[in-house]
Amino acid sequence: MAEAQASEEKPIAVYGALAANLLIAIAKFIAAAFTGSSSMLAEAFHSVVDTGNEGLLLLGHKRSKKEPDEKHPFGYGKELYFWSLVVAMLLFAIGGGLSIYEGIVHIQNPEPIEKPIWNYGVLLVAFLAEGTSWVIAIRQLLKQRKPGEGYFKAFRRSKDPSIFVVVAEDSAALLGILAAALGVYLSVTFENPFFDGAASIVIGLILIVVAIILVYETRALIMGEAADRDVRKSIREIATGFDEVAEVKRLLTMHFAPDQVLVNIELKMRTGLSPEAIFHAVEAVQKKIHEAHPEVSSVFLEIESLRSTQPENAAA
């Protein structure tokens, strides 16, 4: 329920990350030009990719809110998941690939870092900006966290890419900044450009690992991930809470978006009920499910007793 409410709001985490990454990318390119630092250039590539990624997330968020139509009767919610997968692929191919390539080139053709104060200054500003964006994203994630639940479990359970993608990207950015700063420090201290190139490769590996995690998470959502176990348990309890319902024979759920869940439920009704009693019970079950879980956009109910009697009626 908290996730549904969060997704109805504007994607604050994405806007914060977009503004931070755009300013940081410009500053890093300027610093890389003045110092010749490979790790700084890799970080600049990273920030450019992140800026583009936030734009794609905003595009996906906007398109996912389109109303259902004849061609897409369940709406466009999965657009957000599709563009999140594109973000992960770009992070892997461009962010990680370019950073590793730049690091290898720098190791093969080493150049000393000039005016390292530029690097330290820009990296400090970048760390503060990325840290602010990370805090905003974490706060959004915490709104979805269950009591006693760990951060990583909340991240894995989240169905909202506009939050968990930003958390992952910002975490990678902070680690990358630390790697870049260490690379610059070691290169200047030991007068050996190898450390700067190695730091660029480390940054690329960090981005690739994060990209793989994001691909795994978004793939599950695109394929049709079920609602949380607690949500499924609650729906079962709602249905069996009516005297007319004997048991829930089958319950299928699937996320079309963070705030759009499809529910297909098969109920076994108690014997001796009139068609009117079954009809009113079905309406009551649907209504209570919607009230308890606003993220449930569609509920399809099958009644075993009616379905099983259809052949007999047809034969008669």
* pLDDT for the residue 259: 86
| Domain ranges across the chain | 2-223, 229-305
Which helix (DSSP H) or strand (DSSP E) does residue 265 occupy?
strand 260-269
Please state whether 272 falls in left (phi above 0), alpha (psi between -120 and 50) or beta: left
CATH superfamily of 229-305: Cation efflux protein, cytoplasmic domain (3.30.70.1350)
Measured on CA atoms in the order 164, 167, 171, 172, is the torsion positive or negative? positive
* pLDDT for the residue 108: 93
Buried b / exposed e along 75-99 (16+ C-beta atoms within 10 A): bbbbbbbbbbbbbbebbbebbbbbb
Collapse the DSSP code of 248 into the 3-class scheme (helix H, G, I; strand E, B; otherwise coil) and give the result.
Answer: strand
Q: CA 265, CA 68: separation in Å to the nearest integer?
A: 22
* Nearest partner of 9 among 221, 138, 163, 165, judged by Cα: 163
* pLDDT for the residue 306: 52
Contact (CB, 8 A) for 144 and 163: yes
Per the structure block, which two tokens stand in for 99? 């950073």
Per the structure block, which two tokens stand in for 210? 């994060």
CATH assignment of 2-223, among 3.40.50.10860, 2.40.50.140, 3.40.50.620, 1.20.1510.10? 1.20.1510.10
Per-residue pLDDT of the chain (316 residues; tens, 9 = 90+): 445 444 445 688 898 888 888 888 888 888 888 888 878 888 888 888 889 889 999 999 899 889 999 898 888 989 999 999 999 998 888 888 988 998 999 899 888 888 888 889 988 988 999 899 999 999 989 888 888 888 888 888 899 998 999 999 999 999 999 999 999 999 999 999 999 999 999 999 999 999 999 999 999 899 889 999 999 999 999 999 999 999 999 999 999 988 899 999 999 999 888 989 999 999 999 999 999 999 998 999 998 755 544 444 444 3
Q: CA 248, CA 241: separation in Å to the nearest integer?
A: 11
Q: What are phi and psi of 75, to 5 degrees?
A: 90, -170
DSSP string, 267-311: EEEPTT--HHHHHHHHHHHHHHHHHH-TTEEEEEEEEHHHHHHHH
Q: Whats the size of the chain, residue-wise? A: 316
Per the structure block, which two tokens stand in for 136? 């905003």
* pLDDT for the residue 178: 95
Contact (CB, 8 A) for 254 and 74: no
